[in-house]
C-alpha cells in the first residue's frame, strides 16, 4: 500500500461516539445492535444507550432492538475530521394487534343482553404489553432481589469500565448521555433559536 493510499484510507476512517434514545421520552436504550451493513462488524449500546464504533465514510449503520423499528443511516462521505458524535432516536414498534373475531350478527336484544354480561379477559399480548410498560418494569425491578450471577456481573462490568480507561483521562462530558438528554430537550424547546 502506497503512502497516498494510506492517507486516503486514514482520512476515510471515523470513530463514532453515539447514544441511542427513545424518540418519545429521550431515554437511553440499552443493548441496541449497531451493525455496519455488508460487513461483519458491529457493537451494542451499554446500559445508558451509549456506543462507540469505528467505520468508514459512506458506510451504512443499522440500529436494531426488540420493540423498536429498525433504523438505517448513512455516514456522509464529506464529514470533516476523524471523530463524530451521533444522537440516534428510535421509535417504538407496536405490533400487538388484537385478534379478529367474526360471529353471526346478533339481534339488538341479544347484543344488549350479552354486552352487559360479557367478561373480557386480557389476552397474552395485552398482559405482556402491561408488564413491559416503563413504570411497571421499574416497579417490578425495584422489588426484585439480585441473584449471585447478577451481582457478579455488575461487579465485573464496573471493573471493566474502570480498567478500560486505566492510565488515561476518562471521556469528556460531551459523551455523557444525560447531558445530551438535557441538550435535546433544550433544542426541542427552541432555546438555541436566534431571537
| Degrees to nearest 5, angle at CA 87 with 193 and 171 | 105
Q: Is the pLDDT of residue 22 over 60?
A: yes
Pick the CATH number of 3-90 from 3.40.50.720, 2.60.40.1120, 3.40.50.1100, 3.30.160.20: 2.60.40.1120
Place 57 in a pLDDT band, splitting at 50, 70 and 90.
very high
Contact, 115 vs 93, CB < 8 A? no
Per-residue model confidence (pLDDT) at position 169 = 62
Q: How many CA atoms lie within 13 A of 140 on its CB side?
A: 8
Average pLDDT over residues 70-83: 90
What would the mean pLDDT of 144-169 be, rounded to a whole number?
Answer: 72
Cross-strand bridge partners of residue 22: 90
| 115 or 62, greater pLDDT | 62
Reported pTM: 0.48
β-strand pairing of 41-44 with 13-22: unpaired
- 60, 43 in Cβ contact below 8 A? no
The pLDDT assigned to 98 comes to 56
Whole-number pLDDT of residue 164: 65
What's the pLDDT band for 8 if we cut at 50, 70, 90?
low
pLDDT at 63: 96
Question: What are the start and end residues of each CATH 2.60.40.1120 domain in the chain?
Answer: 3-90
Show the 3-state SS of 65-100. CCCECCEEEECCCCCCCCEEEEEEEECECCCCCCCC
Please name the helix (run of DSSP H) or strand (run of DSSP E) that holds residue 19, with its range, or none: strand 13-22
Amino acid at each position: 500500500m502506497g503512502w497516498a493510499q494510506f492517507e486516503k484510507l486514514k482520512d476515510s476512517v471515523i470513530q463514532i461516539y453515539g447514544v441511542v434514545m427513545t424518540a418519545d421520552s429521550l431515554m437511553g436504550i440499552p443493548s441496541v445492535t449497531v451493525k455496519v451493513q455488508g460487513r461483519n462488524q458491529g457493537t451494542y449500546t451499554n446500559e445508558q444507550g451509549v456506543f462507540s464504533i469505528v467505520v468508514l465514510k459512506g458506510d451504512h449503520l443499522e440500529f436494531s432492538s426488540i420493540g423498536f423499528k429498525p433504523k438505517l443511516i448513512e455516514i456522509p462521505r464529506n464529514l470533516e475530521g476523524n471523530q463524530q458524535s451521533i444522537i440516534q432516536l428510535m421509535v417504538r414498534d407496536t405490533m400487538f394487534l388484537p385478534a379478529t373475531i367474526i360471529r353471526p350478527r346478533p339481534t339488538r336484544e341479544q347484543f344488549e343482553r350479552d354486552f352487559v354480561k360479557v367478561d373480557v379477559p386480557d389476552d397474552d399480548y395485552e398482559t405482556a404489553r402491561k408488564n413491559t410498560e416503563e413504570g411497571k418494569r421499574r416497579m417490578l425491578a425495584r422489588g426484585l432481589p439480585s441473584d449471585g450471577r447478577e451481582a457478579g456481573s455488575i461487579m465485573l462490568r464496573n471493573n471493566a469500565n474502570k480498567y478500560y480507561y486505566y492510565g488515561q483521562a476518562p471521556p469528556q462530558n460531551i459523551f455523557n448521555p444525560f447531558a445530551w438528554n438535557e441538550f435535546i430537550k433544550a433544542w426541542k424547546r427552541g432555546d438555541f433559536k436566534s431571537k
